[in-house]
Every structure is written in C-alpha cells, then in structure tokens.
Structure 1
C-alpha cells in the first residue's frame, strides 16, 4: 500500500511544522500513545506542548 505522506500543516515563514503519524495499535489517541512510549513524562506536559 502506498500512502501520500504530505505534511498536513502549512509551512510558515520557511519553517515546516512538527507532526507525528499515529501507527496502528491499541491507542485511542496520540496522547495515550505518547504516555505509553514515554511513561516518565506526565500527560500534562504533552498537553502543554
């Protein structure tokens, strides 16, 4: 399967945005994925970012 992995957000002032693609798995959302992958970082930190 070939995917079109274009940046979903526009470039501003010549700087491209940061973004992540959530891989397939049991996580309902990106926050749950990040919490599992980085348990030493509180979810509130991810939300602030």
Structure 2
C-alpha cells in the first residue's frame, strides 16, 4: 500500500512497544502489598502425632 509508506512501520512498532511497556510498568508498580498480614499467618503449627 503506497499510501501507508510515509507512516514508517518501524516507528509505529516502537511506539506501540513503548506504550505496552509503560502500561505494564504502571500496573506492576501500582500494587501495594501488605506484608503485615503475611507475618501474622505464618505461625508455626505443630502436629501432635499419636504413634
């Protein structure tokens, strides 16, 4: 398609890859984990074996 030649497919590809990576980075770093809940649930439970 000669009408699309000035669009430069490599630039368009790089543009979409940058947008995709920024979207993934923003989603990854927007999550906040509460580590306090993990420590409370990690209590050691002993099992009394009746051999």
Bin of the TM-score, shorter chain as denominator length: under 0.3
Bigger Rg, structure 1 or 2 = 2
TM-score (ref. length: structure 1): 0.20
Q: Which has the higher contact order (CA 8 A, sep 6+)?
A: 1
**Higher helix share goes to which structure?**
2
TM-score (ref. length: structure 2): 0.20
